[in-house]
Amino acid sequence: MEILKNQQGSRLAVVLKGRLDTNTAPHLEKELRSCLDGVEELDFDFEALDYVSSAGLRVILGAQKQMNRQGEMVIRHVNDDVMEVFEMTGFVDILTIED
Amino acid sequence: MNHEITVPATLEKLEEVNNYIGGILDGLDCPPKARMQIEIAVEEIFVNIASYAYNPVVGNATVRLIVHENPLSVDIQFLDEGVPYNPLLREDPDITLGADERGIGGLGIFMTKKTMDRISYSYDEGKNVLTISKKIE
């Protein structure tokens, strides 16, 4: 998985490419832990994210919980496969997903 | 047709198992949606075994794929000789809770139950045997 970050002031944009699974989710968790301090707007782009398992969902949920306390989080361009995972797990109701 | 792979039950072996199963599914012209659902199920079950079955000495996990015709479907069996554990007895997570009320456990086996056509568990001759079945046509 590739993680591309672009921080401008209190806005952090993160582009994920590839697979968010048991082996890659810890990398994302570590990246977010190191840079979410002071972020009020977290903007994910999932256009090139092909696969999410429960390990990935845990990290996404953790980010959402933290951003609920300090600002807002948006996930854009979710593909059909990943959307199916979000729907089946009820994550569509707790995430802000936009085109 | 049976296919089988035995590996040490460690997270590092997940990719090898996924590639092995994925290669067989590709050979069967498995539709992308079912392929991804199976991939998630295989990851969730294998990771469970790798994380909890053996402690402290790591043992093996065997993943066996059986192809059935008319309709085309696969059974995938996961066998380990670790502590007896039936993941199907685990309570489903409440997926209606808000983010802050949500726990992090149980989603993997929950997704597996939702996407597979059948899932069964037995403890047989010292082995945990979890079997998932999915139609792929």
For residues A70-78, average pLDDT: 98
The whole-angstrom distance between A26's CA and the closest CA on chain B is 12
Give the integer Cα–Cα distance in Å for A30 and B19: 26
B44 min Cα distance to partner chain A (Å): 7
Chain B: residue nearest A69 by CA?
A: B100
CATH numeric code, A2-98: 3.30.750.24
Residues of chain B with pLDDT under 70: none
> For the segment A16-63, what is each residue's pLDDT rounded down to a tens digit?
999 999 999 999 999 999 999 999 999 999 999 999 999 999 999 999
- Is B101 an interface residue toward A (CB < 8 Å)? no
**Looking at the complex, does the CB of residue A58 fall below 8 Å from at least one CB of chain B?**
yes
Nearest C-alpha of chain B: how many angstroms from A19? 11
Q: Quote the CA–CA distance of B110 and B21 in Å, as a whole number.
A: 21
Q: What is the pLDDT of residues B52-88, one digit of tens each?
A: 999 899 999 999 999 999 999 999 999 999 999 999 9
Please give the DSSP secondary-structure letter assigned to residue B91: P
Domain spans in chain B, listed from the N-terminal domain onward: 2-135
High-pLDDT (> 90) share of chain A, %:
99
* B2-135: CATH architecture: 2-Layer Sandwich (3.30)
Domain ranges of chain A: 2-98
> What is the number of other CB atoms lying within 10 angstroms of the CB of residue A2?
11
* Mean pLDDT computed over every residue of chain A: 97
Query: ipTM, 2 decimals?
Result: 0.93
Is B100's CB within 8 Å of A51's CB?
no
The answer to whether A73 and A44 have CB atoms below 8 angstroms apart is: yes
3-state class (DSSP) for residue A60: helix
Token pair in block for residue B101: 């009320």
